[in-house]
């Protein structure tokens, strides 16, 4: 195997007691599986290699007590780096680290730390300080752990606040949903009541109309069954009555004219006029006819009595 992967190395040959020196091996990645097979190697030196990052399973090497990663090109550490809870000595000199993972606060046994020659965040750089001697490196471990614990606590508080805010928001949404459902139920109830009232009014109107029709039908039946004697005789049309009166007036006028003519011909000097002579003659003929008619009636009446 290639030397760059580290898998071609004979790790057992490099193991000296509990120390495993893999420095200056031109490694591009860490042989985690082979290291996990050597739990006695509690001191691991990976300095002066070409490591850009550590695999996430590197944090399973929880047997490590001392770790040297100096003079690599590490840009960040795994997020769960804090799983290495037995780690006491950590050398990260001359890498490209800017920040540390929050889980770094879990390295409760860390006693020595070197972060020099890294482009650290200004706040973290100030906390870490210099590691020019043993005492400063020990202080750096204590201060960085305190700083990371503060960050972790703040993140936990933020997480709790966020969780609380989410719970409050969820409660608010549930309350709004309940209010909306109650409003919808009330609306449906009101609409149902209005529909019921509308149908009741329609029923009452239909019933009233039916009763009115039955009442009208009954009244018409009663009027139809009344005797004809109780009904008034039909009145003659007005135009017929007016025509009869007009004829009567004409007849009366003619009779009046005849009487006037007869009187003039009988009582005035006009009786010798040809017209009056004719009138008088006609009058006498009529009178004689009427007398003969009266005589005939008397004879007929006398014969009938016999």
Q: For the chain, 306 residues long, give each residue's pLDDT as a single digit of tens.
A: 334 554 445 788 889 999 999 999 999 999 999 999 999 999 999 999 999 999 999 999 999 999 999 999 999 999 999 999 999 999 999 999 999 999 999 999 999 999 999 999 999 999 999 889 999 999 999 999 999 999 999 999 998 999 999 999 899 999 999 999 999 999 999 999 999 999 989 999 998 888 888 888 888 887 766 554 554 555 555 556 677 788 888 888 888 877 777 777 777 766 677 777 787 788 788 778 777 776 767 766 765 665
- At residue 2, the pLDDT reads 39
- At residue 263, the pLDDT reads 77
- At residue 303, the pLDDT reads 58
- At residue 282, the pLDDT reads 80
> Do 85 and 63 contact (CB within 8 A), yes or no?
no
C-alpha distances in Å from residue 168, one per residue of 154, 173, 176, 217: 20, 8, 12, 72
- At residue 86, the pLDDT reads 96
Closest CA to 116 of 145, 89, 137: 137
Angstrom distance (rounded) from CA 229 to CA 241 = 24
- At residue 296, the pLDDT reads 60
pTM of the predicted model as reported, rounded to 2 decimal places: 0.56
- At residue 92, the pLDDT reads 97
Q: Is 80 exposed, middle or buried (0-12, 13-18, 19+ CB in 10 A)?
A: middle
Angle at 167 between CA 163 and CA 171, to 5 degrees: 170
- At residue 248, the pLDDT reads 82
The domains found in the chain, sorted by start residue, are 12-155 (3.80.10.10)
């Amino acid at each position: 195997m290639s030397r760059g992967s580290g898998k071609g190395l004979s790790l057992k040959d490099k193991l000296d007691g509990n120390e495993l020196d893999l420095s200056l091996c031109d490694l591009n990645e860490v042989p985690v599986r082979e290291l996990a097979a050597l739990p006695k190697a509690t001191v691991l030196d990976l300095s002066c290699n070409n490591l850009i990052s550590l695999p996430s399973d590197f944090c399973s090497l929880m047997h490590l007590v001392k770790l040297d990663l100096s003079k690599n090109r590490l840009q960040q550490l795994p997020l769960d780096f804090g799983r290495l809870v037995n780690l006491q000595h950590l050398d990260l000199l001359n890498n490209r680290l800017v920040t540390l993972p929050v889980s770094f606060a879990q390295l409760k046994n860390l006693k020595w730390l070197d972060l020099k020659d890294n482009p650290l965040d200004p706040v973290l750089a100030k906390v870490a300080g210099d590691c020019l001697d043993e005492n400063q490196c020990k202080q750096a471990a204590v201060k960085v752990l305190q700083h990371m614990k503060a960050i972790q606590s703040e993140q936990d508080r933020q997480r709790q606040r966020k969780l609380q805010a989410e719970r409050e928001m969820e409660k608010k949404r549930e309350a709004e949903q309940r209010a909306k459902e109650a409003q919808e139920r009330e609306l449906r109830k009101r609409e149902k009541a209005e529909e019921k009232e509308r149908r009741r009014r329609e029923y009452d109107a239909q019933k009233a109309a039916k009763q009115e029709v039955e009442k009208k039908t009954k009244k018409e039946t009663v009027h139809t069954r009344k005797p004809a004697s109780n009904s008034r005789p039909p009145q003659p049309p007005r135009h017929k009555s007016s025509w009869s009166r007009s004829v009567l007036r004409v007849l009366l006028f003619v009779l009046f004219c005849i009487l006037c003519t007869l009187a003039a011909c009988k009582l005035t000097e006009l009786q010798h006029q040809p017209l009056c002579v004719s009138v008088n003659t006609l009058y006498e003929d009529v009178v004689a006819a009427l007398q003969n008619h009266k005589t005939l009636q008397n004879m007929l009446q006398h014969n009938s009595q016999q």
